[in-house]
Amino acid sequence: MGTKSRKALSPVVASIILVAVAVALSIAVGAWTGAVTFGFTSTEQVRISSMSFDMPSNTITVSVKNPGTSVVTFNEAWVNNVKQNSTNPVFPEVVTANSEMVLNITLSSLKEGYNYQVGLVSSKGNKFLYTAHT
């Protein structure tokens, strides 16, 4: 009877296969970790570029820019540390990436010669401030 000779993998080939599998796994884990970390570390980039006053209508007009790459949702507007409920558009308001928004805040009264500080609060809890003088 003839016997077939089976040769096992050489230790060198086995080592190369193990290294290749380890490299492939580390690349997969690294890509997954990077995607998860990127989602948690995205920052909101908002600039309040200007603020104007319409004294007869008691309205403050605020121009907001989002130069960032992520969407920002505003939930609150504050004027001189007082939460405002009369805004147009009504909150929550979404500002998409690389876009602008104009917000009108109507107060009970505006006074000439005063400083007004507007604060916009995002859904992530970040507060963006701007102060102007009437």
Dist CA 41 CA 70 (whole Å)? 11
Predicted local distance difference test score (pLDDT) of residue 99: 94
Dist CA 53 CA 64 (whole Å)? 15
Please, which residues bridge with residue 131 across strands?
117
Q: What is the pLDDT of residues 78-106, one digit of tens each?
A: 999 999 998 999 999 999 999 999 999 99
Q: How confident is the model at residue 107 (pLDDT cuts 50, 70, 90)?
A: very high
**What is the separation, in whole angstroms, between the first and last Cα of the chain?**
106
Q: How confident is the model at residue 114 (pLDDT cuts 50, 70, 90)?
A: very high
How far is residue 96 from each of residues 52, 65, 68, 106, 110, measured CA to CA in Å? 23, 9, 9, 24, 31
Would the pLDDT of 2 be above 70?
A: no
Would the pLDDT of 7 be above 80?
A: no
Predicted local distance difference test score (pLDDT) of residue 44: 86
Dist CA 119 CA 126 (whole Å)? 10
Report field, pTM of the whole predicted structure over 0.75: no
